[in-house]
């Protein structure tokens, strides 16, 4: 190879590298992937799997974020003596941004545990983030939760938890470390998903939930839940999965007319020796509760669970933890 040709090749490669590096820098600071919740308590996360996260020390409405970026007070590491610590991961049903601390599920469960405790201090940490899917909840557990030395992990599962296809990335070096690669992957996947949804006529909430639970998406959710179970088992602890029924205006009752029974069965079907599963649908039906009675504002399609429903959930979780020996007897 002639010297001039070699020089031209080197210059070309350096130019390409410089262009890609510039594009990478621009994308890291200028582009944020879709799926954000636009509230003052959120900021962009430079973890590509979280995408966004709570702002440490921020306050919004009745919600206070601690110094480590999750709801509630600060917690010490390592945990104190005679302390049984539970980490609860989930989305908006767990965070409950519209409710004061005392009405949230983690707080109500913590109060119930301590009221019935003999010498053990129970702590239930609220790692809920609005809009998070199962993959983000797993990443949150691994990157933020495990350092708090949980004795039990609770995953609150809701029916919009399966990851939309355009947000799902295979975990490889380039995806984790390159915003430019993530950008083009996201754009391609988003276009393909949009085309598929249009062809299938996806329109209603019911269409959406069944679409998300088709095998090519739900199998990934199953793998994420089983990974959480393995993480719990590595410390000789357990994972408790709590299935939340949907109480939107599409749902008239929780019995024969409930449209999502098959989806609940899919989640119930995930099995692991380190895992237990309960379905709040069973408890709501036992108490003859209706979607209207468990929602914050059913008429306006505000289907997040109200304080009473979360109290019912706390009681059911507590009874299950005792029955399954998930807490000290």
Choose the CATH number for 60-165+202-323 among 1.20.1250.20, 3.40.50.2300, 3.40.50.300, 3.40.50.1110: 3.40.50.1110
pLDDT (0 to 100) of residue 99:
94
pLDDT in tens, 151-164: 999 999 999 998 76
pLDDT (0 to 100) of residue 35:
55
pLDDT (0 to 100) of residue 231:
96
Closest to 110 (Cα-Cα) out of 322, 317, 320: 317
Closest to 85 (Cα-Cα) out of 2, 16, 150, 143: 150
Torsion sign (Cα): 42, 43, 46, 51: positive
Quick check: 230 pLDDT over 90?
A: yes
Quick check: 114 pLDDT over 70?
A: yes
Overall average pLDDT of the 104-120 stretch: 95
pLDDT (0 to 100) of residue 36:
57
Radius of gyration of the chain (CA): 22
pLDDT (0 to 100) of residue 20:
73
Overall average pLDDT of the 302-324 stretch: 95
Quick check: 202 pLDDT over 70?
A: yes
pLDDT (0 to 100) of residue 194:
76
**Is 303 strand, coil or helix?**
strand
Kindly report which listed range (42-46, 182-186, 226-230) carries the lowest average pLDDT score.
182-186
Better pLDDT: 30 or 167: 30
Quick check: 71 pLDDT over 80?
A: yes
Quick check: 262 pLDDT over 80?
A: yes
pLDDT in tens, 278-294: 999 999 999 999 999 99
pLDDT in tens, 163-178: 765 455 556 666 666 7
Quick check: 32 pLDDT over 70?
A: no
Identify whether the C-beta of residue 42 lies closer than 8 Å to the C-beta of residue 53: yes
Under the banding of pLDDT at 50, 70 and 90, the label for residue 252 is very high
pLDDT (0 to 100) of residue 168:
56
pLDDT (0 to 100) of residue 39:
76
Under the banding of pLDDT at 50, 70 and 90, the label for residue 15 is confident
pLDDT (0 to 100) of residue 51:
83
pLDDT (0 to 100) of residue 103:
97
Under the banding of pLDDT at 50, 70 and 90, the label for residue 1 is low
3-state helix, strand, coil in the chain (%, to 5): 50, 15, 35
Q: What is the per-residue burial (b if ≥16 Cβ within 10 Å, else e) of 122-146?
A: bbbbbbbbbebbbbbbbbbbeebbe
Percent of the chain past pLDDT 70, that is, above it, reads: 90
Closest to 324 (Cα-Cα) out of 260, 241, 224: 241
Overall average pLDDT of the 81-93 stretch: 96
pLDDT (0 to 100) of residue 201:
79
pLDDT (0 to 100) of residue 247:
94
**Is 224 strand, coil or helix?**
helix
pLDDT (0 to 100) of residue 171:
61
User: What is the residue extent of each domain of the chain?
Assistant: 60-165+202-323
Percent of the chain past pLDDT 90, that is, above it, reads: 60
């Amino acid at each position: 190879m002639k010297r001039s040709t070699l020089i031209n090749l080197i210059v070309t490669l350096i130019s390409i590298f410089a262009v890609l590096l510039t594009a990478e820098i621009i994308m890291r600071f200028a582009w944020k992937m879709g799926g954000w919740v636009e509230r003052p308590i959120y900021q962009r996360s430079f973890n590509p799997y979280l995408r966004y996260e709570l702002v440490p020390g921020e306050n919004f409405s009745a919600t206070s974020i601690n110094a480590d970026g999750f709801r509630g007070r600060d917690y010490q590491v390592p945990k104190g003596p005679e302390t049984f610590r539970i980490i609860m991961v989930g989305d908006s049903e767990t965070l409950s941004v519209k409710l004061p601390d005392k009405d949230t599920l983690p707080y109500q469960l913590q109060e119930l545990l301590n009221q019935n405790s003999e010498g053990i201090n129970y702590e239930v940490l609220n790692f809920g983030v609005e809009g998070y899917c199962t993959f983000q909840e797993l990443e949150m557990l691994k990157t933020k939760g495990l350092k708090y030395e949980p004795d039990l992990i609770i995953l609150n599962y809701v029916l919009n938890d399966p990851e939309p296809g355009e947000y799902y990335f295979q975990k490889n070096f380039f995806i984790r470390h390159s915003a430019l690669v993530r950008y083009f992957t996201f754009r391609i996947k988003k276009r393909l998903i949009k085309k598929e949804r249009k062809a299938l006529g996806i329109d209603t909430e019911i269409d959406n939930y069944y679409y998300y639970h088709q095998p090519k998406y739900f199998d990934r959710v199953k793998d994420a839940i089983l990974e959480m179970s393995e993480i719990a088992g590595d410390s000789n602890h357990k994972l408790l999965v709590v299935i939340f029924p949907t109480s939107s205006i599409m749902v008239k009752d929780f019995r024969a007319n409930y449209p999502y029974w098959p989806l609940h069965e899919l989640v119930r079907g995930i099995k692991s020796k380190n895992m237990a599963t309960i379905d709040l649908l069973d408890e709501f039906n036992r108490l003859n509760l209706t979607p209207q009675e468990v929602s914050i504002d059913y008429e306006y399609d505000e289907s997040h669970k109200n304080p009473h429903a979360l109290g019912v959930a706390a009681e059911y979780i507590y009874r299950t933890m005792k029955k399954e020996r998930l807490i000290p007897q």
